[in-house]
């Protein structure tokens, strides 16, 4: 059974500092990995999707890396801003899971202080 | 562009009452559809998914059910709510298995 872990559960940084968010998964037979952002009381916003064959994916200040063999992904957010404050979730889909079912980590709650 | 809608946004229901939550997707056809629940301290859990009209797969045993009466409509139901059904219900869609999933705004359900 796939298990996804995100450490730390919460993170507080001053504005301008780079953010590093970690995600680990137990079964390396993934199809893809997706990073989401969730604001309080809101739905999930997709940030980046990394296919299992990719090593990294970039979008603006966001960069996500994937090391499938070691079961890890890292989301980097450069030059953090107060607007980056949110909960960040990673999720993996299994290579043989019908319907592209996602297994989620518990999330990292980020606070960027002005 | 594609959009996903959920309603109602919030709902307060007594124990034992029925439930119907609706999700619709616009701007795409034959999407994969998903229902997730996010409960305090338990993270996001997949409840149901559907790859086509009338095709529903259940992930966890519970007193909830799902239906897909139309291509872009996904409904979550219960005949009798339990206290443990409280949570934040999220609908999601993807173009096909293995592609990016997009989530709706969610429905906050409180069962009293």
State pLDDT tens for residues B31-76.
Answer: 999 999 998 877 899 999 999 999 999 887 778 999 999 999 999 9
Contact check, Cβ <8 Å, A46/B46: no
Cα separation of B58 and B66, whole Å?
8
Q: Choose the mutation target among A30, A33, A44 for the interface with B, i.e. most B CBs under 10 Å.
A: A44
B104 touches chain A (CB under 8 A): yes
Find the chain A residues whose C-beta atoms sit closer than 8 A to any C-beta of B.
31-32, 34, 36, 41-46, 49, 89, 91, 93, 98-107
Can you give the pLDDT at residue A99? 63
Nearest to B101 among A102, A106, A107 (CB): A102
Bridging pattern class, strands B64-70 and B73-78:
antiparallel
Chain B residues close to A90, C-beta within 8 Å = none
| In the block, residue with structure tokens 């999407």 | B31
Can you give the pLDDT at residue A95? 63
Q: How many helices (H) and strands (E) does chain B have?
A: 0, 11
Residue of B nearest to A94 (CA): B98
Q: Choose the mutation target among B5, B6, B42, B44 for the interface with A, i.e. most A CBs under 10 Å.
A: B44
Residue A78 has pLDDT above 90, yes or no: yes
Tokens of B10: 């919030």
Q: Choose the mutation target among A34, A43, A90 for the interface with B, i.e. most B CBs under 10 Å.
A: A43
Please give the average per-residue pLDDT across A32-43, as a whole number: 95
Please give the average per-residue pLDDT across A24-37, as a whole number: 94
Please give the average per-residue pLDDT across A31-52, as a whole number: 94
User: Which candidate, A87, A28, A33, A79, places its Cα nearest to that of A56?
Assistant: A33
Chain A residues close to B98, C-beta within 8 Å = 31-32, 93, 100
Residue A101 has pLDDT above 70, yes or no: yes
Can you give the pLDDT at residue A98? 62
Contact check, Cβ <8 Å, A106/B51: no
Cα separation of B14 and B38, whole Å?
20
Bridging pattern class, strands B10-13 and B107-111:
parallel
Q: How far is CA A92 from CA B11, B21, B37, B80, B111, in A?
A: 30, 26, 17, 33, 31
């Amino acid at each position: 059974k796939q298990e996804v872990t995100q450490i730390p559960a919460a993170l507080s940084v001053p504005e301008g500092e780079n953010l590093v968010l970690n995600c680990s998964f137990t079964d390396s037979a993934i199809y893809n990995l997706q990073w989401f952002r969730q604001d309080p009381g809101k739905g999930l916003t997709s940030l980046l999707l990394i296919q299992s064959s990719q090593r990294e994916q970039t979008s603006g200040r966001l960069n996500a890396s994937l090391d499938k063999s070691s079961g890890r992904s890292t989301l980097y957010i450069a030059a953090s801003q107060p607007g980056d404050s949110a909960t960040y979730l990673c999720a993996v889909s299994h290579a043989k899971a019908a319907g592209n079912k996602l297994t989620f980590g518990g999330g990292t709650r980020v606070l960027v202080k002005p | 562009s594609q959009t996903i809608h959920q309603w109602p946004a919030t709902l307060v229901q007594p124990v034992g009452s029925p439930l119907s939550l609706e999700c619709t997707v616009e701007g795409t056809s034959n999407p994969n559809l998903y229902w997730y629940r996010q409960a305090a301290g338990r993270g996001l859990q997949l409840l149901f998914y559907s790859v086509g009209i009338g095709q529903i797969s259940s992930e966890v045993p519970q007193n909830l059910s799902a239906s897909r009466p139309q291509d872009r409509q996904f409904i979550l139901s219960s005949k009798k709510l339990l206290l443990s059904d409280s949570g934040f219900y999220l609908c999601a869609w993807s173009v096909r298995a293995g592609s990016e999933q997009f989530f709706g705004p969610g429905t906050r359900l409180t069962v009293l």
